[in-house]
Amino acid sequence: MLFRSLIKKDALAGIAKKMAGDVLVWAPVKQEDNVLFKPLRADDEPFFAYLNSKNAPKNVFFPHTETLMKYTRTEKGMVFSEEVNDAPQSVLFGVRPCDAHSFVLLDKLFDQEKYKDGYYIAKRRNTTVITLACVKPPYTSCFCTSVDGEPVSSDGADILLTDIGGDYLVEFVTEKGEKLAKYFGDTQADAAADAKKNEIAAKAKEAIASKIPAHEVKPILDKNFDNPFWDTIHRKCLACGTCTYLCPTCHCFDISDEVTEVEGVRIRSWDSCMFPLFTKETSGHNPRTSQKERWRQRAMHKFKYYIDMFNAIACVGCGRCVMYCPVNIDIRKIVTDISKL
């Protein structure tokens, strides 16, 4: 940590709105019964009393749909223009620690040594992440402590905010975060504030009651690709894709061209390994012909393949897939059952 300060809790919304006058600020905004991260406008009121958003804020760096390239047919031939990365200086204000952790995991894929995704990287590098600690676990479905996370964590954050009663303890984690210090006043945190934060963090961690053996299943998955277990877990799956679209770390995408007579646009859009057409090849062959193969892929990707590639579990324990699956498929039970194979 570079340094720490204190702000009054009721000052937080004003800080976000003041910041939005200078840079693009993505903040949680309440819309009916949902909370969405969206660019903060002058008439928006940021809502920091939320538990967690239904949609993960990964779309700030990995949009649902984005243009990669445009092309035009002219008399001299095709003219191609790669889409300029529209990545203004931005602040992602008030994400939960599990979502901030997901950005670190996505970095391993989109910003790896052998492959650099310029579209993702430009947005990521130009965005400062302000994390709002979970001083109380928001849901019983949360299991972040089982997958290398904590409810009060600076992982993936440039600034960490922790509610310590009447104040927020503001910890500037990176130099990028330190550049925003002017918005948070000059009241320095003392040892008492640090002690209070540590006490809250310990209690919050202890309060995560849901546990899964996430670190135990990789060697089991290594040996059980054809286990009859996979014939059972998929039976009630609707292939709706809710689990993957809400997941902070799922990153499957499709690339398509939209073409008129003389112009075309190449677009990247989210896809899902739960969809029957996701792996269908041009020849008509589909290596994953049933939901059995697709569910096996999902479990393997989270708890084996990502570890093989990046030495990290591709799950942050946010519990969204547990909460919003329309047929109540629970990844926690699946991982626990795998550990018993």
Which residues, 6 or more positions from 299, have their beta carbon under 8 angstroms from its beta carbon?
A: 221, 233, 331, 334, 335, 338
The model carries a pTM of: 0.95
Half-sphere exposure of 93 (CA within 13 A, CB side): 29
At 213, list the tokens. Answer: 């053996």
CA distance 298 to 309: 15
Helices marked H in 30-155 = 97-110, 118-125
Which residues, 6 or more positions from 132, have their beta carbon under 8 angstroms from its beta carbon?
A: 48, 94, 95, 96, 161
Residue 205's SS3 state is helix
User: Which residues does residue 3 pair with via DSSP β-bridges, in sequence order?
Assistant: 172
Helices marked H in the chain = 12-20, 97-110, 118-125, 175-178, 191-207, 218-222, 242-246, 291-300, 306-310, 320-324, 331-338
pLDDT of the chain, 341 residues: tens digit per residue? 578 999 999 999 999 999 999 999 999 999 988 999 999 999 999 999 999 999 999 999 999 999 999 999 888 888 988 776 678 999 999 999 999 999 999 999 999 999 999 999 999 999 999 999 999 989 999 999 999 999 999 999 999 999 999 999 999 999 999 999 999 998 999 999 999 999 999 999 999 999 999 999 999 999 999 999 999 999 999 999 999 999 999 999 999 999 998 999 999 999 999 998 888 888 888 888 889 999 999 999 999 999 999 999 999 999 999 999 999 999 999 999 999 99
At 166, list the tokens. Answer: 């009447």
Structural domain boundaries in the chain? 3-64+85-207, 218-254+272-338
